[in-house]
Amino acid sequence: MTVYRNYINGQWLESSSSKSVENVNPANTDDILGSFRQATREEARAAVEAASEAFSAWRGTPAPTRGRIVARAARLLEDEKEALAQLLTREEGKTIAESRGELQRSINVAEWCAGEARRLNGETIQSELPLNFAYTIKQPLGVVACVTPWN
């Protein structure tokens, strides 16, 4: 069985936690996809700090360049679509058609986001102050957490 590590600051690291979770195929409980060590609070903090530090360079990267990186991610998903669909089916118990559809939607969203990087237009608006103007710009937010519902 594969034991997965945590990816922190560009390196795969073993967790110091003794707690782990096995990823079991819900359609075949004899099929264990791997074991995942739970990160400790300190390891999670280190991951957030590393991401925050990396954000400075990412934020300074021109939007079209960021878009090309996202487009490359879409191509990688496309290249591995069938293998990833098989893995999703094993991991989540979906039909293969559902897994393929989910991956195609992910590819579509990544391609759309890549294109949006060339359309990051702000607005210039009239100010109430003479000889002044106001404008908006769009910039990356930084490190965020996303908690999604799962049934």
Where do the domains of the chain lie?
A: 3-120
Could you give the residue ranges of the DSSP H alpha helices within 61-95? 63-79, 81-92
**CATH domain 3-120 topology:** Aldehyde Dehydrogenase; Chain A, domain 1 (3.40.605)
Rounded to whole angstroms, the Cα distance separating 89 from 100 reads: 9
60: which 2 tokens? Answer: 């300074």
Q: What is the pLDDT along the chain (151 residues), one digit of tens a residue?
A: 899 999 999 999 999 999 999 999 999 999 999 999 999 999 999 999 999 999 988 989 999 999 999 999 999 999 999 999 999 999 999 999 999 999 999 999 999 999 999 887 888 888 888 888 888 887 888 888 888 876 5
Task: Evaluate whether 19 touches 41 at the Cβ level (below 8 Å).
Answer: no
Nearest Cα residue to 43 out of 77, 5, 3, 80: 5
106: which 2 tokens? Answer: 């992910």
